[in-house]
Amino acid sequence: MTYEVLTPREMGAVDRQAVDRGPLTGTDLMRNAGAAVARVVLERYPHASRAHILCGPGNNGGDGYVVAKLLREAGMAISVWADHPPRAGSDAALVAADWPEPAKGLEAFAPGPGSIVIDGLFGAGLSKAIEGNSAQAISRCAEAKVPVIAVDLPSGVSGESGKILGVAFRADITVTFVRKKPGHLLLPGRSLCGEVIVADIGIPDDIVAEVGAVCFENAPALWRAELPSLALDTHKYRRGHVGVFSGGPTATGAARLSAMAAARAGAGAVTVLSPVDALAANAAHLTSIMLRPIQTLVEIGGFLRERRPDALVFGPGLSGGPETGALLIDMLAAMREHLKAIVLDASALTSLVRQADAFFAIATRDGGPSLVLTPHEGEFGRLFPDLAADRALSKLERARAAASRAGGTVILKGADTVVAAPDGRAAINSNGTPLLATAGSGDVLSGIVAALLAQQMPPFHAACAGVWIHAEAARRFGPGLIAEDLPVALMPVLRELL
């Protein structure tokens, strides 16, 4: 699976296992990495007046010395800059010995017009803020506006979290090795990587698999095998029935967006569950979507027993007051045997703020429905205030902790949406688009995920697929997109996937 995302620690374990197994040594891997970077430089910048290679004291610096040697052999003018030599006896020291001249002091580094910079200062394992000459070198690159090719990850970006540690390069191209790291996908690091190229340096996939990575880049390869397909003898209820709770007479649109998205995403039947005073508003806009009056918990129970929906959407357009959260908790307590899957969005999340402990207690009981929570950062902060306030946690870690606490899959939305399951699996989305920053787009996402759940797709896969399909539909539609466009925009994406 080439869509695994490796933490810096996991990547270190992969390197060590590869060396232990042989036949490649640590210096072989370093030379292969340097050769991969050099190939990219010669392909993209063959006419650069000079290549400045900035080398740190660790393995990234060793890669840099290999790059310098290969580029000089190819006829390019080279300058190597370093504050400190590699540690004696290390793989980096062995390859640095092949460079025939002393490195220049980094304090004097100043890139000129027409030159390029290869950033080999620090890699994905950086854990403290960059300062001193290295920080000044980064600033000089930014001022000179010269192209930067980063080795592994732009120096200053945490490979674990994507956070900026002091100051960081803004790379035009990042060449990483074997697999991407979280810092390539999580913001703000993702915005500093430029084009990311994953280079093969000779480590086989089975060694990566042995590490047991549980984080992935969200892409169809991750979930396509679980995507529902139509059997020849299917009928509408076998395709899944989704129920969508509607808000009051002035807040019905969100539920209809979710309902239409669920229908377009393959649910065979969709019912909007409407307060009596909103029936007329909903009926005026629904044709293929069914409508049912729902006013009380007893009426909800009647619908669940009679129609046996496969998934519910609860939240879009509802009141954000505690009565909404209380209704959800009561429903989970009284009707667990009739609930299969629930997507919780928008006001459902806000309404639980003062009842969070009661919700988490009932949500994590055995035998309950599959839950998918879809908070944006503001909603996440209200429902999980301690996790949101912990600046030491990455977005990936926050989503995982929230999923564990809630006993369900969490879609922590944003340009770098993270999907996390309670068992620790997680996926980072990379096809997000600012076109989705429009009212109602989250309601559409909830409907898509509910439709996939209703068609028996496992919750983690349904959430990952929903996020990717939602973003891909928006990207293909392009500027001018509003939420009402999204259900129809799903069609060409689904057609290709299926």
The beta strands (E) that lie in 104-250 are given as 115-120, 148-151, 173-177, 195-199, 215-218, 241-245
Contacts of 364 (CB under 8 A, 6+ apart): 405, 406, 407
pLDDT at 1: 57
Tokens of 394: 């990455």
Contact 297/327 with Cβ under 8 angstroms? yes
Q: Which superfamily does 8-213 belong to?
A: YjeF N-terminal domain (3.40.50.10260)
Residue 236 pLDDT:
73
Mean pLDDT (10-residue bins), the chain, 498 residues: 90 96 96 98 97 97 98 97 94 95 95 97 94 97 97 98 97 98 98 98 96 96 92 75 97 98 97 98 96 96 96 97 97 95 96 96 95 98 98 97 98 98 98 96 98 98 98 98 98 95
pTM of the model: 0.96
Q: Can 8-213 and 221-497 be said to share one CATH topology?
A: no
> Within 10 A of 424 (CB to CB), how many other CB atoms are there?
11
Neighbouring CB atoms inside 10 A of 224's CB total: 12
CA terminus-to-terminus distance, the chain: 21
State phi, psi for 357 to the nearest 5 degrees.
-60, -40
Domain boundaries, the chain: 8-213, 221-497
Q: Say if CB 198 and CB 406 are below 8 A apart.
A: no
Distance CA 13, CA 31 (A): 19
The whole-number pLDDT of residue 413 equals 98
Answer for the pair 189, 163: CB distance below 8 angstroms, yes or no.
yes
pLDDT at site 229 = 83
Fold category of 221-497 in CATH: UDP-N-acetylmuramoyl-L-alanine:D-glutamate ligase (3.40.1190)
Q: Distance (Å, rounded) from C-alpha 278 to C-alpha 282?
A: 6
